[in-house]
A and B are shown apart, each in its own frame.
Chain A
Amino acid sequence: MIFLAEWWDVRDLGNAVGELLEWLGDHGPDWLPYTASALVGAITIVVFLLVSLLVFAWLERRLIGRIQARRGPNRVGPWGAFQSIADAIKFVTKEAITSANADRWVFWLAPILVVVPALVVFAVMPFNEGMILADLNVGVLFLVAVGSVTAIPIFMAGWSSNNKFSLMGAMREVAMLISYEIPLVLALLGVVIFTNTMRMNGIVGWQDEHNTWLIFLQPLAVLIYFIAGAVEINRTPTDIAEAESEIVAGYHTEYSGVKFGMFWLAEYFAGFAIAAIIATLYLGGWTLWGLEEWVPGWMIFLVKLYGLFWFFIWMRGTLPRLRIDQLMGFAWKALLPLALINIFFAGLEVLLWQENDLAAEAVLPGFAIANLVLAVVLIVAWAQLLGRGRPQYRPTRARLVKELGAVVYGEEA
């Protein structure tokens, strides 16, 4: 009985699948295991995402409730835990209105296509050593490519709605994605320079092998990637494309019911995707300095992923939103030069390392310290240059007076 090999070992869910595929290969046509593995992987990813969504849609509201000194959902089920299911039922049962002047086909297609990029990203995401749907040798590039097409369904939604606010939101989104693509790619390039591979499992393996996480070697790149990623996923601090106080709901103003639910879904999926990318590339993926021998690797990965997603929730509950031109200026004036400097130093360090054939244990701590110092110095310098350094952007207080009738205008308090 081949099934009884090791398949009950929870540390590696891949075992059971592997056994199944082997059995299929022995007993069926040769295309069968290929198809079966694709199906199993796809179903696993969708199920994982939907379950995470149900949990986090509720958890986020509870957490934001805590941040905002209120309770959050607490009526449906214990601690309101079934709130997301109630929401899902609401989305499905509500009427999905198509406005009279909408471009029907495009309007209908956009909410379907918008989910695709966020789903496809997980195809190259290693949940564990063997738990990866497609271990592409250009994995990092694949992430970037998939990220770059997210603009198109959003543009379709905004344009086909035939609403000025929708179109404005869509154009903002497209412009923003194009701008933030560049620092995003440059931040990922630092990883590739160090690990010398674009294969996701190879990057995780490199971090495991050198007993380090790339967040230590590339602190600036992580920050840049996190900010650019936050912009890409379009959640509240950087939700310029659906800024509710300005353009109502941006590109999905005209959507309702299950169509709106798809946008909402895609937003969460994209958030998980960005968190997964950071967890894999910068935080060692499914490895944790040997702990993966004892704890299932996918569990380590999920803890990292959810921990990072929590940062997005925290940001959402705290920060105001920049104006579109300020956000674009931030990409071009701050993130882009910082990313370029970061790449330059990463290349320099790797060159130094490889040319002199030094031992990794000797140089990597030095690089980590040097890069941390570099990150701090650059961030402080840029903040002085663009923000606080300018007199008008220093916080002031109202001046207190007792007399009446005079005017203080233009004087510094």
Chain B
Amino acid sequence: MTMKSEPFVVNVGPQHPSTHGVFRLRLTMDGERIVDAEMVMGYLHRSVEKLAEGRTYTQNIPFTDRLDYLSAMSNNLAYCMAVEKLMGIEVPERGEFLRVIMAEFQRIANHAMAIGSFAMECGVWFTPLMWMFRDREKILDLFEMTCGARLTTNYVRIGGVSFDIPPEFMPAATALVKELPERIAEYESLLLENEIILVRSRDVGVLPPELAIAASTSGPVLRGSGVMWDIRKADPYAVYDRLDFDIPVGTRGDCYDRFLVRLEELRQSVRILEQALDMLPDGVASVEVPLALRPPAGEAYARIEAPKGELGFYLVSDGSPHPQRFHIRSPSFINLTPLRDMVVGLTIPDAVVTLGSIDIVLGEVDR
């Protein structure tokens, strides 16, 4: 016997505790099951790409802070790399190392948020998030020490970084890097072997690798599906080719695997930081670049492995001081492409966990 039921529409968001901002998921339900999902976004659209066309290359760096506001360093880095590629600027070695150090600290801070809010999506009452805030707080303190800002850092500049690190940075950073493995072990003991997290996320929101590649997902979402891909290794930028680290990959492509990949990336970031802090050379941190940048006409696409995936900036210059085209390849936005395939057939609680495991930031989705 089949039960007949009327399909009804549930709006998850834009005002909902677990949509990470103002994302709206319009779910058509048949009883408990989701039969259709439509993504509605743009509530946070600030037309960054248009605004950037009216400002100079240097003036555009603060815009990038406000894309993925949880990993501003990575955004600065990707944008500055694109401009440097356009101009053919070489960054001094110390600058490259500082960029790597900041980017990896930023990755830990971002993944702390991602794992914490993923656990909250599974129904934990804030505890993992608050624990992870401890470490994130220390990382943000390091940022504040270096550039005076905690979230919108505006630190990486064209040709290097804005300030060299202060003398108290190295002791604090070394102490933090020593402390982090213990902390990560603590999170693993709390979350990794938690049966409830397992049954909530195992085999939920499965993304097969073929679809993951076809749908252009990147970052932990792609690696969670078992695809061995990391731009830090595939297309090494800065000094990643001189650092030793592994790529964590999942084997099932479910929410639990994406969570595992992020958890392991914390450890790998700590490994990178240990080496980078050790190898940090002396010298100048940045080269002098003219304030009035007039890149030659042409185009450049530079990309990095941001915490959320492949973050790329595509710049087209017509020789004037402002970009003719400023395109952001934002990982949060493109990782949402297969969301519908992942959530159809699930229930609302599973859909929420799936969305949480993709780890989006609306500033970057809507731009």
Contact = CB atoms under 8 A, between A and B. Distances in A.
Direct contact between A and B judged by beta carbons closer than 8 A: yes
B247 A402 contact: yes
Given A64-B125, A321-B123, A410-B252, A246 B226 contact: no
Given A246-B352, A321-B196, A398 B264 contact: yes
Size bin of chain B's contact surface: 35 or more
Interface centre among A247, A320, A392 (most CB of B within 10 A): A320
Contact of A320 (B32, B123, B134, B225): B123
Contact of B249 (A64, A393, A408): A408
Contacts of A324: 347, 349
Interface residues of A, number: 51
Contacts of B276: none
B134 A408 contact: no
A25 interface: no
B120 A245 contact: yes
Contacts of A29: none
A407 B226 contact: yes
Contact of B234 (A318, A323, A325, A404): A404
Contacts of B347: 323-325
A322 B119 CA distance: 12
A317 interface: yes
A248 B121 CA distance: 12
A245 B127 contact: no
Given A324-B349, A407-B209, A396 B195 contact: no
A46 to B, nearest CB: 29
B195 A387 contact: yes
Nearest to A387: B195
Contact of B349 (A165, A246, A408, A413): A246
A1 interface: no
17 contacts: A68-B131, A164-B8, A236-B125, A237-B123, A239-B123, A245-B356, A319-B123, A320-B124, A321-B123, A393-B195, A393-B198, A393-B199, A397-B192, A398-B261, A401-B249, A404-B230, A408-B251
Interface of A: 64, 67-70, 164-165, 168, 236-237, 239, 243-248, 316-326, 387-388, 392-393, 395-413
Interface of B: 8, 10, 16-18, 32, 119-127, 130-131, 134, 192-200, 202-203, 208-209, 225-230, 233-234, 246-253, 257, 260-261, 263-264, 347-350, 352, 356
Which are the 10 A-B pairs with shortest beta-carbon distances?
A321-B123, A398-B248, A68-B130, A400-B246, A409-B226, A398-B264, A245-B18, A320-B122, A398-B260, A320-B196
